[in-house]
Structure 1
Amino acid sequence: MEKVSWKVEGMSCTNCALTVHKYLEEKGANNVKVNFIGGDVSFDLNGKSTKKDIATGIEGLGYHVVSDEKLAIPRKKRLFKNHFQRFVFCLIFTIPLFLNHILPFHIHFLMNPYVQLALTIPVYIVGMDFFGRSAIRSLWKGIPNMNVLIALGATAAFGYSLYGLIIGQSEKYMFFETAATILTLVFLGNWLEDKSVETTQAALRKLAVSQKIMANMIAYDDQHNEHIFPVESTSLKVGDLILVKTGEHVPMDCKILWGDASMNESIITGESAPVDKKMNDRLIGGSILESGTIKAYVTAVGEDTVMSNILKMVKEAQAEKPPVQQLADQISAVFVPSVLIISLITFTLNLSYGHHDFATSLMRAIAVLVIACPCAMGLATPAAIAVGLGRAAKNGVLFKNAKSLEIFKNIKQVVFDKTGTLTTGQFTITEYKLLSSDIDDNAFKRIAYSLERYSNHPVGKAIAKEWKVKDEISWASIEEVKGLGMKATDKEGNNYVAGSFKVAENYLNDHQRSVYIIKNNELIGWIDVADELRPEAKQVVSALHARNITTILLSGDKKEKCDAVAKQLGIDEVIAEQTPAQKLEKVAAFNAEAPTAMVGDGINDAPALAKATVGISLSDATQVAMQSAQVVLMNHGLKNLPLSLGLGKHTYVTIKQNLFWAFAYNIVAIPVAALGFLSPTFGALVMGMSDVVLAVNSVRLNWKKV
C-alpha cells in the first residue's frame, strides 16, 4: 500500500467530492478521503492502478491534480482561469439585455431578436463550456451535480427563444436575456462562494508558512574556513548546518549546536510569549527567532517536519465526515434528480391545471431549477468544520478527526491523569535512602540512573537527569512495564527493578515513597521526588465546573498525593493507585455513565486515552499517548482545554445553524419559484447568495467567544 496525498483543483461542492470519491473507489483505492474545501484528496494505492492513470482519470472528470510534480499531467489551457473572469466576460454581453428588460422604456435595436441572439451566444458558449461540461461528466458518473440544473435551465430558456426565432414569432418566445442572466449571475455566485469558502481556510493558511523561504547555510572549505550563503529552504537536507539570526524564520526543524535564542512559537502553540532555547534544544520550522543568533543542524525536512505533520493532520481531519454530515450527503446525492422531477411537475401543473401559457410554465420550471441549491447542504458541515479546525490549530489545539470536534458537544465529565498533566512533570529529587549495607551511595545512584535512563515516565526522566553517571550498567535486557516501572537484567545475571510501591509491597509497609529500587529480590533503597502543579490547572478546572462538567483525577500515584492535588484544584472525585488496566476499566465505566474526555500524557495513559469518548494528550507527552489520543494540546499545558471543548460545542452549533438554513432555504425557495413569485433571473442571484450566507456564518467561528 502506498499513501497518496494530492491537491485537486476544480471541486466546488459535495457532489464533486462524491464524484472523485466514487472514481477512486472504482480504481481500487482504499481509505479514500476527499475534501472539496481546500481540494485535499488522500487514498491508499494498492497497485491495481498507477498514480498517472488515476490522475489522468481525475483530469477526465474535469478536475486537475496540482500537487504532484512527478506526474507532469499537462493542464488543458482554458480561455478563462476562474469564475470571476467568466463573470466579467459574460457581464459585458448581459448588461444590455438585462437593462433593456428592466428599463421602463426599450432601446429599439436591442429589441431585435438577432441582436439579442448575438449578445447571448458568447455567454451561452462560455456557460456551457463550464456548466455543460461539468453536467455531462457528472451525469456520466451517475452523480448529477448542481451544474446539471444550471445547464438545463439556461439551455431551456435559450432553446425556447431560438425556436421562436426560427418559426418567426420571436416576440412570443423572447427569453434570451433569461438564459444570459442566469449564467452570468451563477458565475457571480460561484465566485462569491469560492471567496467565502477560501475565507474558511484562512486560519489554516496562516499555519502554512511559505515553503520557499531563504535560509543561511553554513559550509566549510578545505582549510576549514566557514562560509555562509543563502539557499532556498526547500533545498535543505537532514544534517545541513544553518545560521538563524534575529527576526528570521527557522527554515526547517533543527537542533541548536551553538548559541541561545528567544523563540516565538505561536504559529504552533498559539502562545505569543517567547520561549528561551539553548544548546541541544529543538526548534520547530516556521517559528521566529525574536532575539539571539544560533547555529543548528537540520533534523527534518519536507513532510517530516512538525509543521507539515500538523497541516497533514488538520487536512485529514477536515476530510473526515462526522456523523451529522452523513444525512446531508445522502440528501445531496438524490437532490438534483429530485429537483428535476419537481421542475417537470411544476411545468406540467402550471400548464395543465394552472391555466398558464407555455412560456410562463417554462419560466417557473426554470426558476425551480436555478434557485435550488444542493451545494448549501453539502457546504453546511465542511465549512464549519474547516473554520473550527483552523481556529483550533492556530491556537495550538490539534484534532485528529472531525468526529472528535463534534463529539465534544456531549462531554459531561473530564478525567485527568496527575503526573505531567495536572502537574508540570518537572520533578526534582528531594530525598533518598539506602536500605542495604552492601550498596554505597555512588553505586545506588549508578543503578538508579542506569534503570531510569530508559524510562518514559517523568519521574524516571528526572532521576536520570539529576544522577547522570558515565559508567552506567550495560544491560543484557531491559523493559518498561506499564504502571509498575523498569525491569532489567545485567550481563552477570543480576535482576533489578525500579518502580512504584507495587514492586516493593512485599518488603516494607512504607508506601509514601516515589520510587523503590530492588536488586535480586532485595530492596536496596528508595527515592522521593517532588512535582509542582501547572499554573493554569486551577483555572482550567474552574472553567470546566462553570460548564457543569464533572472533574475526576485518575492516577497511578499514591492516594495521599492525589488527594492533596485534588484539594488544591477543587477536583470533584479522586481515584488513585490504579494500574493501566484499572484505568482502562474506570474510563470504560465512566463512558457508560456519560460521554467522557480523558486527559493524559504518559505511556500508562495510552489505553485509557484510546478508550475514552475523546482522548486528549499534551504535546510533550509520550509518542504512544499522542498516537492514542484524538486531540493534542500543543502549548505544553492544559491552557487550551476549555477552548477545545468550547470550539467543539460551538462548531456543532454552527453546523446545525448551517443545516437549518440549507434545508429551510430549499424548502421555501423551491415552492416560491414553482408558484411564480420569483423569476429565473432573481432565482439565480438568490441561489448564489445562499452559499455565501453559510460561509459567512461559519467564518464567525474565528471570532466567536467559545
Structure 2
Amino acid sequence: MSKLTSSQRFWISFILIIPMVIQMLAMPFHWMMPGYNWVALITTTLIMLVAALPYWTSAWAAFKHHNANMNTLVAIGTTIAYFYSLFAMITGRPVYFESAAFIAVFVLLGDTMEERMHNNASNALKKLLDLQVKSAMVLRDGQFVAVPLDQVQVGDIVQVKPGQKVPVDGVITSGQTTLDESMITGESMPVSKKAGDTVVGSTINGNGAIQFRVTKVGQDTMLAQIVEMVKKAQTSHAPIQNLTDKISGIFVPAVLIVAIITFVVWYSFLGATMVQAMLFAVAVIVIACPCALGLATPTALMVGTGRAAKMGVLIKDGQALEEINDVKTVVFDKTGTITVGKPTVTDIVGNPAEVLMVAASLETNSEHPLAKAVMKAAEEKQVAPQSVTDFATVEGKGVQATLNGQPAFVGNDKLLANGQITNDLQEKITTLQDEAKTVILVGLNKQVIGLLAIQDAPKPTSAAAIAALKTRGLRTVMLTGDNDRVAAAIAKQVGIDQVIANVLPNEKAEHVQALQQDGKVAFVGDGINDAPALTAANVGIAMGSGTDIVIESGSIVLVQNDLRGVVKALDISKKTFSRIKLNLFWALIYNLIGVPIAAGVFVGVGLQLSPEFAALAMAFSSVSVVTSSLLLNRVRIGNPAPAVQAE
C-alpha cells in the first residue's frame, strides 16, 4: 500500500466509501441497509489501511522526534472516530464509522490535488526532455550519416536541414538560417543565425541548411541544464518556508489543547453526552489540520519557478526567488551585459598597418573581447601578427612583450609613464572616449605609435530594461573596468543611475559588498571576472551567453542574454511572494474561523460542523490554496517598454 500514489489511494477509498454514501442519502427515508454496521466496519477498516496509514506513519515518526505535524491531527482524528465506533459497535451503541472514513477520504482529496500539480510540473519537464531528437546527421569519413544521439561527441560536425530539430548544442561552421528557440527562451520570434553563432539542442531550424561543431552533449546541453535547474528550484525551500514550519510547530500542539478543552467543556459543563463531546473535539482536530498552511509556500514556488523557466529565466532555488524580491540595487557589468559584447575597431590613429601589427602580435592569445576586436580588424586589413617573447599581462592595464627585439605594449594610459601622452594625443583620446569608444594605446620601443578606438554598442533592449527597473523603484549601477568617460557615455545612453569605473576584476566583489550597506544587491554579469561579484551579491544573475563558471556562480540565469529578463525575474518574484502571503493569510483565517465553529461555539445559532464535513472543508481549503498558486500562470508579468535603439 505504501507504494500507492495519493491519487490511487483516493480513488480506492472513494469506491469503498460508496455504501456509506448510499446509507447517508437513504437516512431521510428511514431506510437502513441490512448489516450496515458490519459493512461500515469492513469498509472503514480498509479505508484506514489504504488512506490513513501514511498519516499514522508520519505522525508516529514525528512523535518519536518529539514533534507534531499536520499529519498528527489527521491521525488522531481518524483514530478517535474509528476506535470509538468499534467500541460502540461492541457495546450496542450508535457508531460513527462514517466520520473516520470521510475524514481520511477528504484529506486525501487535498493531497491528490497537490500531487496532481507536482505531476503536471514533472510532466512539463519531461516534455522538455522529449523535445530531444533520437539521432543526428554526423560527418563520418567524409559523409553525413545518421548516428544515435548518445554516440554524438564534442567536436563532431553535424548537419541540420530546413525544418529539422537541432540535436545538440554547438557553433555554426557553415550556412545561415533562422531558429525557433521559443521552447528554450520563451521568445516566439525566430532568431537569425550564421557562421560563428551558437545553436541550442531541440530548437527548430528554419529555411536554411547549416552545419555546426558540437560543443555540448548529454547532461551538459542547455536543455538538460534547464530541466535540472527547474527540478532543483521546485523542490527547494525559500526562507519564508521556515516561518510556516514554525507556525505549524506551535499550531498543532495548540489545536490538541483546544480539542481537549472543547471535550471537557461540552461533557463536564454543557451537558453533552460523551459521544457529542467527542465529535466536537474530533471536528476541531480535523478542521484545524494545517494542510493549507503547508501547501501555501511550496505550491506557489513550484508554479513561479516553472513559469519563470518558460520565460527564459532560470531560478536555481527558492532562496534566490525570495531574495530578489527585496533587492534595492541592481549592479551591471558593462561588456557583454549592457553592451552587445562584440566590440569592433572603429578608429585607427597612426600608421594602420604598423599599429595593427603590434596590437595583433601582442593580443594573439588573449580571450578578452577587446583583443578579439583587434584580431578581427587585423584579419580584415590582412595584417599578419608576428611572434613575441617575454609576454606578460599587467592586470587592469594591458599586456606587454618583446617584438622584434623591441619592447612593445598594448593597453590603457595606466600602462604608461608620466609624460608619454602628449597634449594632442590626449585630446584625441578624450574625443574618442566622449563618443563611448574604448581607446587602446599601442606602443613600440617605449613610444606611443598609435591608438585603436573600439566601440561596443549597448544592446537594443538594455535601455528599456533599465528604465523598467527604475520605474519599479530600483537603483541601477554600472561596474566596469573601462575608463570614466566611456563608462559615463554608455551609462547616459541606457539611463544608468551611477557609474563605478576603472575597477580591476578583483575589486568588483568589494564594490558589491560596499553597495550592500544600503540594502540587498543583485549583480548581473557574463564574464569569468564577474564570478566573484556574482557570488558576493545577494542575488547573482548570470547572462546565458556567459561561461560555465559564471552560470554556476549565478543563482539566476537569463537564457535569452537579455536584460529584460531581470525585470521578469523581479516581477515573478513579487507576484509569487504576494501569492504566498495571500495563501498564508487565507489558510490562517480559515483556521481562526473554522475552529470556533467546529468547537460548537455557534451551535446556538444553528452553525455546527460534524467531523466529516470538517474534513471536507479542510480538504477544500487545501484545494483553494493549490488553485490560488496555479493562478500565478495567469497573472500578467509586467513587460518593460519594447526594445529601442540606444541614443
Q: 2:99 aligns with which of 178, 182, 194?
A: 178
1:120–1:180: 8 Å Cα contact kept in structure 2? Answer: yes
Q: Deviations over 1:516-553 (max 9, x none)?
A: 23456443432111232221222223222322333334
Q: Deviations over 1:53-98 (max 9, x none)?
A: xxxxxxxxxxxxxxxxxxxxxxxxx597433332232223323313
Q: 1:445 and 1:315 mapped to 2: Cα distance?
A: 50
Q: 1:528 aligns with which of 453, 462, 473?
A: 453
Q: CA deviation at 1:515?
A: 0.9
2:108 matched to which residue of 1? 187
1:121 matched to which residue of 2? 45
Superposition map of 1:388-399 within 5 A:
388-399=304-315
Q: CA deviation at 1:625?
A: 4.5
2:192 matched to which residue of 1? 276
1:92 matched to which residue of 2? 15
2:363 maps to 1:452: yes
Give the counterpart letter for 2:410 in structure 1.
A
1:246 matched to which residue of 2? 162
Q: 1:425 and 1:105 mapped to 2: Cα distance?
A: 80
1:62 matched to which residue of 2? none
Q: 2:333 and 2:213 mapped to 1: Cα distance?
A: 36
* CA distance 1:584–1:115, change in 2 (3 Å): closer
1:246–1:291: 8 Å Cα contact kept in structure 2? Answer: yes
Superposition map of 1:54-133 within 5 A:
78=1, 81-102=4-25, 103-110=27-34, 112-133=36-57
Gaps spanning 5+ residues in structure 2: where?
A: 431-437, 602-607, 638-647
SS of 2:588's equivalent in the other structure is: helix
Superposition map of 1:213-252 within 5 A:
213-218=133-138, 220=140, 224=141, 226=143, 228-229=145-146, 231=148, 233-234=149-150, 236-239=152-155, 242-252=158-168
Percent identical:
37
2:487 maps to 1:562: yes
2:642 matched to which residue of 1? none
SS of 1:276's equivalent in the other structure is: strand
Superposition map of 1:580-659 within 5 A:
580=505, 583-623=508-548, 625-659=550-584
Give the counterpart letter for 1:123 in structure 2.
I
Q: 1:175 and 1:405 mapped to 2: Cα distance?
A: 47
Q: 1:212 and 1:619 mapped to 2: Cα distance?
A: 20
1:100–1:106: 8 Å Cα contact kept in structure 2? Answer: no
Q: CA deviation at 1:280?
A: 4.8
In the comparison of the two structures, how many residue pairs are matched? 615
Give the counterpart letter for 1:634 in structure 2.
V
Q: 1:119 and 1:637 mapped to 2: Cα distance?
A: 59
Q: Deviations over 1:352-392 (max 9, x none)?
A: 23332111122122222322333333322222222222222
1:482–1:604: 8 Å Cα contact kept in structure 2? Answer: no
1:41 matched to which residue of 2? none
Q: 2:114 and 2:89 mapped to 1: Cα distance?
A: 36
* TM-score, normalised via structure 2 length: 0.84
RMSD (Å), alpha carbons:
3.3
1:681 matched to which residue of 2? 612
* CA distance 1:592–1:330, change in 2 (3 Å): same
Q: Deviations over 1:416-469 (max 9, x none)?
A: 3333333223222122234xxxxx754542432243344443222211223247
1:192–1:688: 8 Å Cα contact kept in structure 2? Answer: no
Q: 2:146 and 2:530 mapped to 1: Cα distance?
A: 47
Q: CA deviation at 1:658?
A: 1.8
2:458–2:494: 8 Å Cα contact kept in structure 1? Answer: no
Q: 1:262 aligns with which of 160, 165, 178?
A: 178
1:197–1:695: 8 Å Cα contact kept in structure 2? Answer: no
1:14 matched to which residue of 2? none
1:467 matched to which residue of 2? 378
2:282 matched to which residue of 1? 366
1:215–1:242: 8 Å Cα contact kept in structure 2? Answer: no
Q: 2:89 aligns with which of 165, 171, 177?
A: 165
Q: CA deviation at 1:336?
A: 4.1
Q: 2:553 and 2:106 mapped to 1: Cα distance?
A: 49
2:645 matched to which residue of 1? none
Of Structure 1 and Structure 2, the greater helix share is in 2
Which structure has more relative contact order (CA 8 Å, sep 6+)? It is 2
Q: 1:479 and 1:343 mapped to 2: Cα distance?
A: 78
Q: 2:20 and 2:508 mapped to 1: Cα distance?
A: 73
Q: CA deviation at 1:211?
A: 6.9
* CA distance 1:202–1:113, change in 2 (3 Å): closer
Gaps spanning 5+ residues in structure 1: where?
A: 1-77, 435-439
1:413–1:551: 8 Å Cα contact kept in structure 2? Answer: yes
Q: 1:499 aligns with which of 393, 411, 416?
A: 411
SS of 2:188's equivalent in the other structure is: coil
* TM-score, normalised via structure 1 length: 0.78
Q: 1:672 and 1:502 mapped to 2: Cα distance?
A: 77
Superposition map of 1:316-331 within 5 A:
316-331=232-247
SS of 1:467's equivalent in the other structure is: helix
* CA distance 1:698–1:499, change in 2 (3 Å): farther
Q: 2:151 and 2:611 mapped to 1: Cα distance?
A: 55
Q: CA deviation at 1:243?
A: 4.0
SS of 2:331's equivalent in the other structure is: strand
Give the counterpart letter for 2:494 in structure 1.
L
Give the counterpart letter for 1:214 in structure 2.
K
Q: Deviations over 1:307-328 (max 9, x none)?
A: 2223323333444433222121
SS of 1:483's equivalent in the other structure is: coil
* CA distance 1:120–1:655, change in 2 (3 Å): closer
1:548 matched to which residue of 2? 473
2:541–2:557: 8 Å Cα contact kept in structure 1? Answer: yes
Single out whichever of 641-650 and 517-526 deviates more from structure 2: 517-526
Give the counterpart letter for 1:394 in structure 2.
K
Q: 2:106 and 2:367 mapped to 1: Cα distance?
A: 61
2:129–2:224: 8 Å Cα contact kept in structure 1? Answer: no
Q: 1:320 and 1:494 mapped to 2: Cα distance?
A: 59
2:297 maps to 1:381: yes
* CA distance 1:313–1:117, change in 2 (3 Å): closer
SS of 2:215's equivalent in the other structure is: strand
Q: CA deviation at 1:219?
A: 6.7
2:343–2:373: 8 Å Cα contact kept in structure 1? Answer: yes
Give the counterpart letter for 2:74 in structure 1.
I
SS of 2:334's equivalent in the other structure is: coil
Q: CA deviation at 1:555?
A: 3.2
2:421 matched to which residue of 1? 508
Q: Deviations over 1:156-179 (max 9, x none)?
A: 222111112212x1xx33102222
1:618–1:633: 8 Å Cα contact kept in structure 2? Answer: yes
1:432 matched to which residue of 2? 348
SS of 1:414's equivalent in the other structure is: strand
Single out whichever of 254-263 and 534-543 deviates more from structure 2: 254-263
* CA distance 1:663–1:479, change in 2 (3 Å): farther
2:644 matched to which residue of 1? none
1:705 matched to which residue of 2? 636
* CA distance 1:573–1:93, change in 2 (3 Å): closer
Q: 1:271 and 1:450 mapped to 2: Cα distance?
A: 41
2:437 maps to 1:517: no
Q: Deviations over 1:104-125 (max 9, x none)?
A: 2232225742233234333233
